Structure 1
Amino acid sequence: MAVHLTPRITPTHFHHMQVKSLLLAGGALLAASSGAYASGFQVGLTGQKNVGMGGTGTGLYLDQASQFYNPGAFAFAPTGFQVGGNMAIPRISFRPDGADQGQRTLQNKNVFPFSGFVGFGPKEGKWRLGLGAYTPFGSELHYAQGWEGRYSLTDINLRSVFVQATAAYAITPQLSVGAGLVMLAYGDVDLQRDVPIQAQGSAAPLHAQLTGKADHKLGYNLGVMFKPSDKLSVGISYRSAIDAHVSSGDVTLTNRPASLASSFSATQFDVTLPLPDVYSVGLGIRPSDKLLLAFDANLVGWSRYQNLQFTYNGNLGGAGVTSSSSKREYQDALAFRVGAQYKVTDKFTLRAGTFYDFSCVRDGFVTPETPDADRIGATAGFTYEIGSRFGIDGSFLFEDFRKRSQTQDDLISNGTTDRVAGTYKTTISVPGVGLYVKF
């Protein structure tokens, strides 16, 4: 990859051109670690059975993972314990706007989301109590040295863990309700980017690294399940919004010119990100004892995320520059999912599914840490029962993102020149495996 020479830029110019984006990706990191279910960094990987059926689950009660998809359905789910993990393998490429040097491929890193659930209650009873932990979002991307967007992002790494305590009750054999208390139990972010300022005699530009841990935040998950017959189940669920907050993130600057020590004196940052709520509706249709069909629709309220505002404990880009703001102007996003399950034998079950997620990021607002686009996916899965109480689940998911382009004119007209013009193309492959025990 060609490395372009960078002109010297004064702190004043830096403030107008770059400070707005210094912590830009931090917000996307929080978004990715927080609880969106369509667009953004989302790769729905909770519950191996559900993954194999296209990410459906609102109208189903397959196992203890129904705590996540629809707490109301959990009242009809079998008791037991399950744990599973996935390996997400992203492939992201970037072609600069107007460049004739070919596309750049990221040094993608695999990430390993997991989920685990346990459910208790009488086998034929009306109630269930459960506990779950899951990592619905995570990413690690490393752009090649000298890439065109290095002043927006060079490296990103995030991890998150959510926990949920759930209670469900079947009011009648046909109607059940459930509620879950959700907590962002752990989230950390590591974001790096170059700054177009170089010290005298230095070949390396000023480099910023932003790290922080998200505060513990609470939300809730509500659901209702209605079964008019053994062949049909209808579910609705609502997952609340959460305002993720990093109260004392660290700003680390390397290769900083001594003459700019006062202009770049900040060592910590504070940011609050409004995260979306999620509405879901789903159907489960059982034409026969062996065949199960599922349909889900999700609406994610990303439109509450319009701007990203940071405050610092010192200057960052000039005297008196102690805050920055960046446009997001996200839009609500829809997702549609279809899945099927077929019991081949008493011990072996096959699954397949597909889905289409609409992007929450508007044209001209795409950022390197969230190269989002409308996406289509295909899934497959299986279950093999080892004994009467034990079994193994397997799943595979493939997502193909539409090419997403933005020109420099687009960025200028939208006031989003704190990101880079060009075309992104993304695919993600995700194998997964899980084990379960029936109580």
Structure 2
Amino acid sequence: MSTNRLPSITSAVSTKQSSNLSLSRLAMMTSVALASSLPTMASASGLFLQEAVTANAGVAGAGDGVYTESAAAMWTNPATMSYMGDSLTTINLMAFDLKMKFHDADTPAQDGEAQSYLPSISIFHAHQVSEKVHLGLALGAAGGSSLSYGDDWAGAGALDSITLNVIVLNPSLSYKINDQWSVGGGVQFSWAAFEQSTVAIATKQDTDWAYGYNLGVMYRPTDNLDLGLSYRSKSEHSFDAELQTLPLSVSTEIEVPEIIDLSARYGVSEDLNLLTSVQFHRWSAWEATVLDLGVANGVAIERDWDDVWKFAIGADYKLNSDWRLKAGFSYETSPQDDPEKQWVDLPVGEQYRYSVGASTNWDNVGIDFFYEYADLGEVESAKRSFVGETARAGVNGTFDGRIHFVGVNFTI
């Protein structure tokens, strides 16, 4: 997404040529431009839209930390593998349609709209190697996307296109203590690549590896009740991308927060399961995004986010011998409610997700269809100038967004 106007950047470059503007000042101006368009590698729900790695998307991810019918549950809680039998493989296929709109509070003619389509695939496999031990491997892949509001909106200027590609490999292990308790853990290897351009400046593609881990425990006191608690550590990507037209490179570090998940399943009857999850996303550690071009002190986008809580509920109902029907809802709190601290690269607020799904079996293959609508809400942004070397929001108006998700998961 974009922010400050390109004319200011172009003017800065022109001024440098005519009046010998210092390189450090040019670096400062370029940092501001890049600050608006660099992918932040994050949303209120984390780097990866969680639907790409959700085990039970038809219920908005409710109970994912205890859902043992899909190998994808190992992503949320590796301890679930102990209840997956001899071998279980799941392939998640998904696509989404993201649309963001901006309504200018000062000049309606400067409204803007951006849209992006993105497919993804994730693969999960759990295998029992002994009576008590399961090994698992999760591979999540997400393609790049581009967003452009055009040249006429109030924040026009810095962004022409952004491409972000991420692949995450997460091997894990679970140990079954007894019929009621299991524990698990895994290691996360995250590879990311990005490239972005504007009509004035562009970066060359840069890549980076980041590392983390996840832990979990699952408790099954009866056949009708499952409880799971899991933790995924934060990971940090560092980029140092060269600019294509200027003798500069931009460096920045982006953190993906740690996540704690508490999940439960209650079997009301043989045909009906109720599921729920509560998640804590530690976004308060993300105070600012600092961009450094090496010849200046850098520019900091002030985030000052709060921690995010996510609540999800869902139901899974056996309609007949062939089909199960699913429905779910989730709500996420807002990490930032101050309009003067909203930044156009990532306007964030409360999020609401509504999902439905249906699953069936074809021979020995489980097929799980789902659709989900994510309401990203309305986010107010108030223009504010720079304070020292800290960048603030650059538009007056309201952002609102939504996402359509559609997918199918295959489990063998």
TM-score band, normalised by the shorter chain? 0.7 to 0.9
Cα deviation 1:236-270 (Å, max 9, x = unaligned): 00000112112x312123xxxxxxxxxx531x232
Question: What do you get for the CA RMSD once the two structures are aligned?
Answer: 2.8
What's the TM-score once normalised by structure 1's chain length?
A: 0.82
- 1:290 pairs, out of 262, 271, 274, with 271
State the AA in 2 paired with 1:325.
Answer: A
Structure 1 equivalent of residue 94 of structure 2: 86
Distance change >3 Å, CA 139–CA 29, structure 1 → 2: farther
Distance change >3 Å, CA 338–CA 137, structure 1 → 2: farther
**Structure 1 position 215 matched with structure 2 position 208:** yes
Partners of 2:146 and 2:310 in 1: CA distance: 24
Q: Specify the SS of the correspondent of 2:119.
A: coil
State the AA in 1 paired with 2:282.
Answer: G
Matches within 5 A, 1:333-348: 333-348=308-323
Structure 2 equivalent of residue 372 of structure 1: 348
State the AA in 2 paired with 1:98.
Answer: D
Structure 2 equivalent of residue 300 of structure 1: 281
**Structure 1 position 405 matched with structure 2 position 380:** yes
Partners of 2:388 and 2:292 in 1: CA distance: 26
Distance change >3 Å, CA 50–CA 354, structure 1 → 2: same
Cα deviation 1:314-343 (Å, max 9, x = unaligned): xxxxxx436333322222111111111112
- 1:269 pairs, out of 244, 250, 255, with 250
Distance change >3 Å, CA 410–CA 265, structure 1 → 2: closer
Unaligned regions of 5+ residues in structure 2, if any? Answer: none
Structure 1 equivalent of residue 408 of structure 2: 433
Structure 1 equivalent of residue 127 of structure 2: 120
Matches within 5 A, 1:4-403: 6=7, 8-9=11-12, 10-11=15-16, 18-25=29-36, 28-31=39-42, 38-39=44-45, 43-47=49-53, 49-56=55-62, 57-78=64-85, 79-101=87-109, 103-106=111-114, 108-121=115-128, 125-135=131-141, 139-184=145-190, 186-193=191-198, 207-246=200-239, 248-253=240-245, 264-266=246-248, 268-312=249-293, 320-321=295-296, 323-363=298-338, 364-387=340-363, 389-403=364-378
Distance change >3 Å, CA 42–CA 375, structure 1 → 2: farther
Cα deviation 1:339-392 (Å, max 9, x = unaligned): 1111222331111100011232342222333222211110111111011x2132
Partners of 2:385 and 2:65 in 1: CA distance: 39
Partners of 1:227 and 1:306 in 2: CA distance: 39
Distance change >3 Å, CA 396–CA 410, structure 1 → 2: farther
Distance change >3 Å, CA 102–CA 218, structure 1 → 2: closer
Q: Specify the SS of the correspondent of 2:243.
A: strand
Cα deviation 1:190-234 (Å, max 9, x = unaligned): 22345xxxxxxxxxxxx1223443322221010000111111111
Partners of 1:407 and 1:40 in 2: CA distance: 24
Q: Specify the SS of the correspondent of 1:61.
A: coil
Partners of 2:149 and 2:344 in 1: CA distance: 9
What's the TM-score once normalised by structure 2's chain length?
A: 0.87
